[in-house]
């Protein structure tokens, strides 16, 4: 499969391939392509040029014309007592996972000179996010709707763009801030879906939470590694980056069990007021 945005064969080099799939506009094709790239990497069929400096082309990230992107407070919200309301929630979750594919691919191609394990980690994240999106899109279709039928916001990708110049800021403020908020939000969202009788959706949320703990742990791993490389104290470095990049304030309740499993220290949890 090749990205429809380029009409060219995908490179057999990992970071260039990740960039190609980041540019892909069709969500299903992007998810399938990332899955195939991960399989090829695991079969040692893809090379890695970790030190190559790649230029950012136009069109990042590739995404479909729909959903319409609006301000967060303008996203359509409907009652969970209706099929449409539950579909709107599933759509919001699918949009998060679609964006998460893009952010993992961006972390993979954009930052050169990192250890090989860094690129393998973010490829694994991209493939798991693709799986999450595919599950949610299929379940949404089973409710009579499709990805793009509701409006969505772009807050997650906004932070990806703001941190494009520094891998330390990216690790601090995307996986271990915005994605970590998903660890906190997942249990109450799952409870809403289960209470509405959608146990299939609740089961998908279980898969997502399990995997997202690992994704946040990857962010923590590389944030810690970068802090050590730069001689920074992690808690102070995080506070500085959060202030400098105007990260959204973190509000509870917090999923402390999941955050501990993802590698947050007791000192970091104490900073949350826990």
Q: Please provide the DSSP assignment of 85-116 as one string.
A: HHHHHHHHHHHHHHHHHHHHHHHHHH--S--H
Host H or E run for residue 217: helix 199-230
Neighbours of 165 (CB within 10 A): 10
**Count of domains for the chain:** 1
For residue 12, what pLDDT is reported?
A: 86
Tokens representing residue 32 in the block = 């399938």
Residue 249 domain-assigned (yes or no): yes
Give 180-210 pLDDT, tens digit per residue: 999 999 999 999 999 999 999 999 999 999 9
For residue 81, what pLDDT is reported?
A: 81
Q: Which domain holds residue 214?
A: 76-271
Nearest-angstrom CA–CA distance, 234 and 249: 18
Residue 156 domain-assigned (yes or no): yes
For residue 11, what pLDDT is reported?
A: 60
Nearest-angstrom CA–CA distance, 34 and 20: 10
Residue 173 domain-assigned (yes or no): yes
CATH code at position 117: 1.20.1260
Residue 168 domain-assigned (yes or no): yes
Give 38-79 pLDDT, tens digit per residue: 999 999 999 999 999 999 999 999 999 999 888 877 776 777
For residue 4, what pLDDT is reported?
A: 45
Is the model's pLDDT at 266 over the cut of 60?
Answer: yes
Residue 214 domain-assigned (yes or no): yes
Tell me which residue of 27, 181, 91, 149 sits closest to 3, measured CA to CA. 27
Residue 65 domain-assigned (yes or no): no
Tell me which residue of 41, 23, 21, 22 sits closest to 33, measured CA to CA. 21
> Among positive and negative, which fits the CA dihedral 83, 85, 88, 93?
negative
Give 91-142 pLDDT, tens digit per residue: 999 999 999 999 999 999 999 999 999 999 999 999 999 999 999 999 999 9
Nearest-angstrom CA–CA distance, 171 and 223: 5
What's the full length of the chain, in residues? 274
Tell me which residue of 129, 124, 140 sits closest to 96, measured CA to CA. 129
Buried/exposed 78-111: b ≥16 CB within 10 Å, e otherwise = eeeeeeebbbbbbbbbbbbbbbbbbbbbbbbbbb
Nearest-angstrom CA–CA distance, 99 and 175: 12
For residue 274, what pLDDT is reported?
A: 60
Instruction: Give me the phi and psi of 86, to 5 degrees please.
Output: -70, -35
Residue 43 domain-assigned (yes or no): no
For residue 77, what pLDDT is reported?
A: 72
Tokens representing residue 164 in the block = 């494009």
Q: Compute the radius of gyration of the chain from its Cα atoms.
A: 18
Residue 4 domain-assigned (yes or no): no
Is the model's pLDDT at 6 over the cut of 70?
Answer: no
Sorted by sequence, the CB contacts under 8 Å of residue 61 that are 6+ apart come out as 22, 23, 99, 102, 105, 106, 157
Mean pLDDT of 203-227: 98
Mean pLDDT of 167-181: 97
- How high does pLDDT run on average in the chain? 93
């Amino acid at each position: 499969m090749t990205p429809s945005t380029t009409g060219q064969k995908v490179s057999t080099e990992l970071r260039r391939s990740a960039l190609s799939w980041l540019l892909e506009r069709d969500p299903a094709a992007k998810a399938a392509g990332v899955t195939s790239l991960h399989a090829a990497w695991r079969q040692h069929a893809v090379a890695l040029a970790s030190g190559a400096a790649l230029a950012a082309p136009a069109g990042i990230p590739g995404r479909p014309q729909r959903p319409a992107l609006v301000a967060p407070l303008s996203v359509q919200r409907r009652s969970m007592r209706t099929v449409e309301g539950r579909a709107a929630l599933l759509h919001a979750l699918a949009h998060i996972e679609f964006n998460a594919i893009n952010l993992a691919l961006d972390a993979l191609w954009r930052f050169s000179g990192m250890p090989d394990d860094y690129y393998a980690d973010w490829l694994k994240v991209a493939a798991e996010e693709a799986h999450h999106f595919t599950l949610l899109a299929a379940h949404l279709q089973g409710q009579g709707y499709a990805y793009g039928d509701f409006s969505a916001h772009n807050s997650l990708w906004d932070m990806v763009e703001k941190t494009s110049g520094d891998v330390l800021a990216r690790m601090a403020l995307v996986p271990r801030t915005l994605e970590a908020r998903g660890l906190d939000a997942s249990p109450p969202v799952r409870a809403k879906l289960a209470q509405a009788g959608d146990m299939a959706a609740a089961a998908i949320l279980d898969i997502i939470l399990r995997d997202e703990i690992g994704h946040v742990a990857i962010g923590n791993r590389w944030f810690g590694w970068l802090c050590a490389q730069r001689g920074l104290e992690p808690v102070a470095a995080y506070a500085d980056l959060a202030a400098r990049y105007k990260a959204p304030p973190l509000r509870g309740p917090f999923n402390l069990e999941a955050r501990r499993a993802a590698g947050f220290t007791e000192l970091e949890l104490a900073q949350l007021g826990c």
